[in-house]
Structure 1
């Protein structure tokens, strides 16, 4: 996919990213593979372990970051256990990949958002996702 309008990401795989925005969020669900991993391919139904850093478009403060907790997260992917934007962008990439994903509300938390996390119903979510393992 094109990286038009996608933010710039500093830092390498395994390190907490910094995200720099320029302009408006792109339309629709967008994913860019920043680092191509060489491990096994993540498939729908796998349990994937990732480190991730999530911000709303234009923000420098994460609403959630496993990097900040120093604790990767594991969950089934592609089976409706996480937001649609993750289910549709993580499968098909290799372990060792770093993804940059821009997720509009309809692929995230919908028009209700998650007010307690500071996510509004019209906010585009941006995640940097490091794929650590899959099984």
Structure 2
């Protein structure tokens, strides 16, 4: 009985070891078992993100092959012509959220046809990236926000994975002055 257990244990260990080696049909890369695709080392800049589409319509966002930074990235894609979002105002916006890691649209008020009101900008009940990032947006303007985890959902929540970088395209629909 001991021999049967010993042989079974050796066979299991051998099978487990071979499973991680890959097939002989694949060329050897000298890898140590890590992903062969090199992780990007160049930090992302605003101009690395490509956004197409016109104001008022759902945008198409291309996530670049760069390394997300820990900084909030803000870039006006279309300069607005109306009132400007200031601390304390209410900003009515349309937005689209694309996650950096898997390049998927996670939420879009454009698709729902329902703009979103951000009341008391600067102290609104939204992520810090929005409280900071929409100040200065004007009505009829379109803005790109790339929000690092520390200014987004950090350890995750609301359907967002832990440490996710969030890519928003935000259209300024209306600005209402503080009461």
Select 1:52's aligned residue among 95, 108, 118: 95
**What CA deviation, in whole Å up to 9, does each residue of 1:18-62 have, x standing for no partner?**
111221243111011000001011111111100000011154432
Match of 2:62 in 1: 20
User: Distance between the aligned counterparts of 2:94 and 2:81, measured in 1?
Assistant: 17
TM-score, length-scaled by structure 1: 0.89
Alignment length, in residue pairs? Answer: 130
Please list every run of at least 4 consecutive aligned residues from structure 1 whose deviation after the TM superposition is greater than 4 angstroms.
none
Bigger strand share: 1
Bigger Rg, structure 1 or 2: 2
Q: Does the CA-based 8 Å contact 1:84-1:108 persist in structure 2?
A: yes
2:169 matched to 1:128?
yes
Q: Where does residue 11 of structure 1 map in the other structure?
A: 53
Q: Provide the rounded CA distance (Å) in 1 between the counterparts of 2:67 and 2:109.
A: 23
Structure 1 residues 101 and 17, CA gap change in structure 2 (3 angstroms) = same
1:63 Cα deviation (Å)? 1.5
In 2, are the aligned partners of 1:10 and 1:18 still within 8 Å (CA)? yes
CA apart distance, 1:85: 0.2
Q: What is the RMSD of the two structures over their aligned residues, measured on CA atoms?
A: 1.5
The answer as to 2:147 corresponding to 1:103 is yes
Where does residue 69 of structure 1 map in the other structure? 112
2:109 and 2:96 map into 1 onto residues whose CA distance is: 6
Please identify which structure carries the higher helix content: 2
